[in-house]
Amino acid sequence: MTRRSFVAASALSAAGAARAVGANDRIRVGMLGAGQRNLLREVLQFREEANLEVVAICDIWRQHREEAAARVREACGQAPDLLHAQEDLFARDDIDAVVIGTPDHQHCLQLIDAVRAGKDAYVEKPLAMDLKELNKAYDAVKASDRVVQVGTQVRSFPTSVAARNFVRGGGLGKIFKIEQARNSYKPYWYRYAERPIEQGDTDWKRFLMQRKDRPWDPQQHAGWFGYRDFSQGPHSNLGVHFLDLAHFITESGPPTRAVAMAGSFRWDKDGFTTPDSIEAVLEYPEKGFLVRYCSTFGVRGENFIKFFGTRGEMDATRWSEPFVLSGATVEDDDRIPEGATIPEAESPHHMLNFFQCVRSRATPNAPIEAGHAHSVAAILADESFVRGRRMVYDPRTRAMHSD
């Protein structure tokens, strides 16, 4: 560490210490992005249990700002401040934590600004679309003393914690393959793109942020999930929940190799650029298993998540319900016995866990390491799709190259 970086890190630590929340102090929260994701609902759900207050709503989309403020007023009896620019939110000395629920391409830059401003942060997934931005965000968080929770909430389900304990105890034997197929009829970005928006009700340049400037396009703004400049596709959006769950249960880091093929084969009209189908295979040689993610829009059914081990399989398809065990598909003497179940476990809600850690300064369920790992996996698969080559990730240099 250079003298300059040491001084900068010390300044960040001092800023964080000045904003430390006491055991009985109310946590003052600022929302950055207040669209259709359910983050505000979750924050308000735990306002009494976590002793928190939403003091500011920051969103470039006027209707979203106003609708979110009305929800806070209805729930709490007091309206929050309405902000347009994120720098005004980060500059507030009276805000302890920010909840970032913005488009995918904005997450890393906003997280960096948040922790440098001394704010604890809950940031939506995927954490990153670009490896360089991911590494910068990781370094910024590690140089601070801020609590950061990444929004892969499935790992906080009691069922996920129970499955992790079961696997840790050898319940599946050696895991060698993990798979998910997640299919639906129509891509989710169509639903978002149907939202009406006028240029005068938003800030197009702030929406684009670091992306190339272009003429106003209401479909790109409202339906950003369908454009690769703002969200790479189902593997980097839906898929990161599964990838993070696989990492959590197996206690593994990111993959080292990935191969993927993707394209738009059913919903190839209407100007969207994200693929509607993808097949990705990722290798985890340190743990000795493969992970396969498959997503197709155009057909319902055949949705599943399965963990395969030498003692049998664990079905996590309904991840909010206890995972189902079976040893019937293997012939080993120590296979999972018929009727075996996974012992229950307890785990707080993902958002509640974040605020508990804001107060206690403990490590949350999905720390920056988890966000880094799931982002590496998604980015590696995406680069394989784009380049048409198998991609390799080197954890020592935090860089990737084609094989």
Cα–Cα distance between 175 and 381 in angstroms, integer?
A: 21
pLDDT at 108: 98
Cα–Cα distance between 209 and 212 in angstroms, integer?
A: 8
pLDDT in tens, the chain (403 residues): 444 444 444 444 444 444 567 666 999 999 999 876 689 999 999 999 999 999 999 999 999 999 999 999 999 999 999 999 999 999 999 999 999 999 999 999 999 999 999 999 999 999 999 999 999 999 999 999 999 999 999 999 999 999 999 999 999 999 999 999 999 999 999 999 999 999 999 999 999 999 999 999 999 999 999 999 999 999 999 999 999 999 999 999 999 999 999 999 999 989 999 999 999 999 999 999 999 999 999 998 889 999 999 999 999 999 999 999 999 999 999 999 999 999 999 999 999 999 999 999 999 999 999 999 999 999 999 999 999 999 999 999 999 999 9
Cα–Cα distance between 66 and 265 in angstroms, integer?
A: 39
Q: Name, in order, each residue with C-beta under 8 angstroms of 266's C-beta and a sequence gap of 6 or more.
A: 276, 277, 296, 297, 298
Residue 148 forms beta bridges with which residues? 121
What backbone torsions phi and psi does residue 223 show, to the nearest 5 degrees?
-105, 40
SS3 113: helix
**What does the H/E/C string look like for 267-305?**
CCCCCCCCCCEEEEEEEECCCCEEEEEEEEECCCCCCEE
Task: For 144-202, give the DSSP string.
Answer: S---EEES-GGGGSHHHHHHHHHHHTTTT-SEEEEEEEEEESS-HHHHHHTS---GGGS
Cis peptide before 126 (omega within 30 of 0): yes
Q: Which of 6, 11, 2, 12 is nearest to 145 (CA)?
A: 12
Q: How many residues does the chain have?
A: 403
Q: Which of 47, 79, 50, 49 is nearest to 65 (CA)?
A: 79
Domain map of the chain by residue range? 3-154, 158-353+376-402
Cα–Cα distance between 211 and 276 in angstroms, integer?
A: 23
Domains 3-154 and 158-353+376-402 share a fold: no
Under CATH, what is the fold of the domain 158-353+376-402?
A: Dihydrodipicolinate Reductase; domain 2 (3.30.360)
Residue 324 forms beta bridges with which residues? 315
Q: CA 225, 66, 205 angle in degrees (round to 5)?
A: 45
Cα–Cα distance between 323 and 272 in angstroms, integer?
A: 36
pLDDT at 388: 97
What backbone torsions phi and psi does residue 177 show, to the nearest 5 degrees?
-155, 140
Cα–Cα distance between 338 and 370 in angstroms, integer?
A: 34
SS3 239: helix
Q: Which of 121, 108, 18, 37 is nearest to 364 (CA)?
A: 121
SS3 79: coil
Cα–Cα distance between 163 and 248 in angstroms, integer?
A: 10
> pTM score, two decimals?
0.93
What backbone torsions phi and psi does residue 36 show, to the nearest 5 degrees?
-85, -10
CATH tag, 3-154: 3.40.50.720
